[in-house]
Amino acid sequence: MAEQHVPVMLTEITELLMPALTLPGSAPILVDCTLGLGGHAAALLEVCPQARLIGLDRDTDALAIAGQRLAAYADRIDLVHAVYDELPDVLAERGIAKVQAILLDLGLSSLQIDRTERGFAYATDAPLDMRMDQTEALTAAEVVNSYPVRDLSRILRIYGEERFADRIAGAIGREREREPITDSARLVRIIASAVPMAAQRTGGHPAKRTFQALRIEVNHELEALEGVLPEAVAALEIGGRIAVLAYHSLEDRLVKQVLRLASTDRAPRGLPVVPPELGPELRLLTRGAHRPTEAESATNPRARSARLRAAERIAEARQAA
């Protein structure tokens, strides 16, 4: 599986992070906060032979496969079962104050998509699970069957950007009264019954946004992303770099806001010289979000929605106003 895995925008990410991992000094540290099957990490360890890796993932299956893939670098890797917003604790436990490069490849991993029994795919019938970390208790089935209809509607509207959120949530509420909804095939049928046929003809698969919303809720993805982004910036040393791959607008909006804020000075408008203490912490390395090439999207469909943003740390943290 690891050998078949094709990392998204691998060349671009390698070129963006490599300068921070080849600076003079001893053993630069790369933190891959979403290790997955280890494709990006393997490429960076190969071209940066002095670099060390701290690889985080909440999915124990992914960690096991990545460990096998990265076995050739065993003396330079430290794989950790953790969610990415636990980054400060992971570094503190290792006595590490600053790192040279941080990568976040958000969303589902190839492992989670390909193992249909995990319940992430709306195209294949499976139990409604959707846990990235299978040691956690909350599943998609529990959300679907126990959340009040108004909360389901809110989740679908906000996390799925689903315009038919009220109709879908109402249909789920009615159907679960007859019998608990435990499998993806039945949930897809319920969603399809609630979405107007005209919308189904033009808007893609009717269950896509609902499944995205449930996955985000089960795994608390946006809360974790909000937590890790400022901590990741703070963990970078001067000259260190961060790269983030997002796959939908909610993720990308958060990434854009944090990187833009940290790359903007806080000096009053019209001030002829910006004092260092009011200057930006980051320099943006990407103008807007970079997208995969048409060729990559054609050969790797999972790359199509990817948005890549990156920045370099140029100054210490600013003091709060």
Q: Flag whether 32 is marked binding.
A: no
Under 8 Å between Cβ of 58 and 32:
no
Name the percent of the chain in helix, strand, coil, to the closest 5.
50, 15, 35
Answer yes or no: is 40 a known binding residue.
Answer: yes
Rg from Cα positions in the chain = 21
**112 annotated as ligand-binding:** yes
Q: Any binding-site annotation on 38?
A: yes
Distances (CA, A) of 131 to 27, 102, 194, 253, 277: 35, 24, 25, 24, 43
How many angstroms separate the CA atoms of 115 and 118, rounded? 6
Task: Please tell me the total number of residues recorded for the chain in this structure.
Answer: 321
The answer to whether the Cα torsion of 226, 229, 232, 233 is positive or negative is negative
φ and ψ at 32, to 5 degrees? Answer: -95, 105
- DSSP per residue over 129-191, as a string? ---SSTTSS--HHHHHHHS-HHHHHHHHHHHS--TTHHHHHHHHHHHHHHS---BHHHHHHHH
Locate the DSSP E strands across the chain: 29-32, 52-57, 77-81, 99-105, 236-246, 282-284, 307-313
Q: Is 50 annotated as a binding residue?
A: no
Structure tokens at 321: 């106003």
Q: Residue 84 annotated as binding?
A: yes
Distance CA 140, CA 145 (A): 9
Contacts of residue 38, Cβ cutoff 8 Å, sequence gap at least 6:
2, 32, 55, 65, 66, 67, 69, 70
Sheet holding 99-105, edge to edge: 77-81, 52-57, 29-32, 99-105, 236-246, 307-313, 282-284
Annotated binding site: 38-40, 57, 84, 105, 112
Annotated binding site for S-adenosyl-L-methionine: 38-40, 57, 84, 105, 112
